[in-house]
Structure 1
Amino acid sequence: MIRLIAFVVYMISYLVYSLPTLAKMKKLHPEMPVAERDRLIHQLPSKWSSTIMKITGSKVEVKGQEFLPEGPVVFVCNHEGDFDIPVLLACIDKPFGFISKVEVKKAPIISSWMEVMNCVFIDRKDRRSAVKSIRDGVEKLKSGHSIVIFPEGTRSKGGPIGDFKAGGLRLAKDAGVPIVPIGIKGTADIFEKNNRLVRPANVQINICQPIEPHLIREKDMKEIAADVRNIIISSFIKEKKAS
């Protein structure tokens, strides 16, 4: 209970503390190089997330940072729990926005940070709006920003990795950027498996080799979705055999 209270207090107070920085980020010159702009914007969310992970008492091991390419990518991750985003923000050495449900837009300050970070909000109940959001995501990628997607569509809460929906992966195909598979294991042990209390856990992040644009173009998106899922699952099987 103490960790949960500390997490909530820190989150609320830090969001208020972040307001002056948020205002500065909104005023960054539009002609600033994308990589530099994203790096500046990413600094505070990354710091915030790192402290959150320290509050949970969790240990995070990251493998495969050397596979992160230059330029924009679509990170494709399995989705274990609510702490997936903080873990990625804290540990992935490459700025990114992410796909989020449109309801998050109602969250004060958080939604403003997400807009600055070039996140994409999708209304799954409105097909026309969802299609427009995907197009916006493609434009962000073409402009040089990276995006994280969770193609399972829901949290596995530590269970088996679900099937990957192909729709979001079209971002990579339409924008002509690589897909970087990322496996996440252990975040559900922080929260979802503890009756919604925050407890320490061991978290593993496996960054896998990118799938290049020409390979994405040559395959059906459902086949790509299955391939990415298998790559992520295999990364943990290799880890287990190695140990």
Structure 2
Amino acid sequence: MPSSPTGRTDRNLAWTAFNAVQFAFTLAWTAVMIVIALLVHAVLRDRHWPLRMASRWWAPGLLRGAGARLRVSGLEQVDWSRNHVFVANHQSTIDICALFRAIPVPLHFLLKQEMTRVPLVGWYAKAMGMVFIDRSNRRAALGFMRRSTELLRDGGSLCIFPEGTRSRSGAVAGFKGGAFQAAIDAGVEVVPVAIAGSGAVLYPEGFFRVRPGVIRVSFGTPLPTRTVDGPVDRQVLADEARAAVLAMLGRRADPA
């Protein structure tokens, strides 16, 4: 029997109230974790443990608060004693939590320049050596490339969303070749990562619309950035990485 309009309204109100509580928890938990991480960083003068706090405390707390169950596969395909560039499809803001939790090494992200203006989050990101990109400024974009390459040559691991933005429909847009240049310059392998279910847990549209669900993170076979003939073409590498992500998502390698 179809539910009545009154019943649907009551459920919507209940979800709205629940999501408001979740949003308050997200802000409070994030603020507490960042303050502690920054204090640890100030004392130790080292980024390792503040970054691991994001993986072991902050991300799991937010995933549990959202009612998200994380399922990870393919970890055995990656040599975790080496650093990599991880490239993932992007459905939701909660992807960052899922990746922090799934990847068992200290992780840096490529973030939009606007994030530097977000209180606490921006402070933490800058202190941890995250890489920022200003897409409106070509000279600044070249600086991002230099900083990314330096981070990789120093042994850091970097995570990039090469679609450039979140997908509102769940489709995987074309991967931009420029996102792969730092990996090529540093001679670091690229690991394709497929994320499924995150857009249904934290919707990309609307204000903090959360529903419990499963987020799956799958790791593919690392892709070399150099062959005996020299560096791999960055767009060829981008297309290979996208095809691997689509395969892990069980989708046909359709045109970008």
**Which bracket does the TM-score occupy, shorter chain normalised?**
0.7 to 0.9
Distance 1:52 1:127, change over 3 A: same
Cα pair 2:166 2:204 within 8 Å, conserved: no
Q: Does 1:112 align with 2:127?
A: no
Alignment partners' CA distance in 2, 1:133 and 1:79: 20
Structure showing greater Rg: 2
Aligned to 2:39: 23
In the other structure, the counterpart of 1:208 is 220
What is residue 228 of structure 1 aligned with on the other side? 241
Q: Matched residues in 1 for 2:130 and 2:113: separation?
A: 11
Give the RMSD, CA atoms, in angstroms: 2.0
Percent identical pairs in the alignment equals 28
Q: Which moved more, 1:11-20 or 1:219-228?
A: 11-20
Alignment partner, residue 110 of structure 2: 99
TM-score, normalised by the number of residues in structure 2 = 0.83
Corresponding pairs, count: 231
TM-score, normalised relative to structure 1: 0.88
- Once residues 189 and 183 of structure 1 are traced to their aligned partners in structure 2, the CA distance between those partners, rounded to angstroms, is 15
Aligned-partner Cα distance in 2 for 1:13–1:56: 14
The one of 78, 85, 98 aligned to 1:68: 78
1:193 deviates by 6.3
Does the C-alpha gap of structure 1 residues 222 and 16 become closer, same or farther in structure 2, counting only changes over 3 Å?
Answer: closer
Of residues 98-107 and 157-166 in structure 1, the stretch that sits farther from structure 2 once superposed is 157-166
Give, in whole Å, the separation in 1 of the partners of 2:31 and 2:180: 35
Provide the C-alpha distance between the structure 2 equivalents of 1:29 and 1:195, rounded to a whole number of angstroms: 39
Q: 1:172 to 1:116 in 2, by over 3 A?
A: same
Following superposition, the deviation at residue 68 of structure 1 comes to 2.6
1:158–1:189 Cα contact (<8 Å) kept: no
Cα distance in structure 2, aligned partners of 1:193 and 1:127: 28
Relative contact order higher in (CA < 8 Å, ≥ 6 apart): 1
**Aligned to 1:93, what secondary structure does the other structure show?**
coil
Q: Which runs of no fewer than 5 residues in structure 2 stay unpaired?
A: 1-15, 252-256
Is the 8 Å Cα contact of residues 188 and 225 (structure 2) preserved in structure 1? Answer: yes
Deviation at 1:82, TM superposition (A): 1.3
